[in-house]
Chains A and B, each alone.
Chain A
Amino acid sequence: NAGVTQTPKFQVLKTGQSMTLQCAQDMNHNSMYWYRQDPGMGLRLIYYSASEGTTDKGEVPNGYNVSRLNKREFSLRLESAAPSQTSVYFCASSRTGVGVGNTEAFFGQGTRLTVV
């Protein structure tokens, strides 16, 4: 099983360029998430999607857009990259539900993005 697959693993962008980070999961999960991780800041939620066709803002959505293309795929787009968006980005997925078992999130390998 591949689990959660993110592409690319590394990317360098110039300020103002755009790019899309791709994420796909093969676990039939309804919920998918995008996080960024900066030193000393933990994982900060950018956007999440509770089910196909729905997306919601997280803690730090400014400068990003997302698309839940289908149940498997959840992409993150930077329309005009800024140096402040230099970070490690993680995609994750989970079963829907709270207070029940087997709803933990599984993570992709991460994308290390540098904006110069």
Chain B
Amino acid sequence: QKEVEQNSGPLSVPEGAIASLNCTYSDRGSQSFFWYRQYSGKSPELIMFIYSNGDKEDGRFTAQLNKASQYVSLLIRDSQPSDSATYLCAVKGNNRLAFGKGNQVVVIP
């Protein structure tokens, strides 16, 4: 079992709709959780971090964490064409930072 799993295939959403991305992790001791965005040919950049169970909102982005289910999600509201990118889930524990394989999001104008 991989440390961090993102199993959904490419996600196409109409402009203005909500994009929903999911991530599960295997290390129950993990304590820090991150969502990164990566445009083609560029480095990953941080969108959100979350440490506590529940929801955390930042602008059009909401991260959700459920440690009991070992599950992290990201919602993108009012999706814009500029949101078209690959979204990477990352999990940190004992200073080891592991990433999922990413989900490609395409926002259709």
Interface size class of B (residues with CB under 8 A): 20 to 34
Contact of B97 among A40, A101, A105 (CB under 8 A): A105
Q: Which stretch (A19-27, A43-51, A65-73, A76-84) binds chain B?
A: A43-51
Question: How far is the CB of A81 from the nearest CB of chain B, in Å?
Answer: 23
A104-B34, A104-B46, A104-B49 known; A43 and B99 CB under 8 Å? yes
- Interface hits, B41-100 → A, CB 8 Å: 43-46, 49, 51, 88, 90, 92-100
Measured between alpha carbons, how far is A59 from B101 in the docked complex, in Å?
13
Point out the residues of chain A lying under 8 angstroms from B30, CB to CB. 98
A108 touches B43 (CB 8 A): yes
Are B96 and A56 touching (Cβ within 8 A)? yes
Q: Is A103 among interface residues, defined by CB-CB distance under 8 A?
A: yes
Closest chain-A Cβ to B47's Cβ sits at a distance in Å of 10
A58 to B3, CA, bound (A): 11
Task: Chain B residues near A94: list those with CB within 8 A.
Answer: 97
**Looking across the interface, which residue of chain A has its beta carbon closest to that of B3?**
A59
User: Would you call the interface of chain A mostly helix, strand, loop, or mixed?
Assistant: loop
Separation of A73 and B92 alpha carbons in the complex (Å): 21
Complex partner residue of B44 from A31, A40, A100, A107, CB under 8 angstroms: A107
Residue contact A48 to B95, C-beta cutoff 8 Å: yes
Give Cα distance in the complex from A40 to B88, angstroms: 12
Residues of chain B within 8 A of A98, CB atoms compared: 30-32, 92-95
Residues of A within 8 A of B (CB): 31, 33, 35, 40-45, 48, 50, 56, 58-59, 90, 92, 94, 96, 98-101, 103-105, 107-110
Given A43-B44, A105-B46, 12 extra CB contacts under 8 A: A35-B99, A43-B99, A45-B99, A94-B97, A98-B30, A98-B31, A99-B31, A99-B32, A103-B32, A105-B90, A105-B97, A110-B43
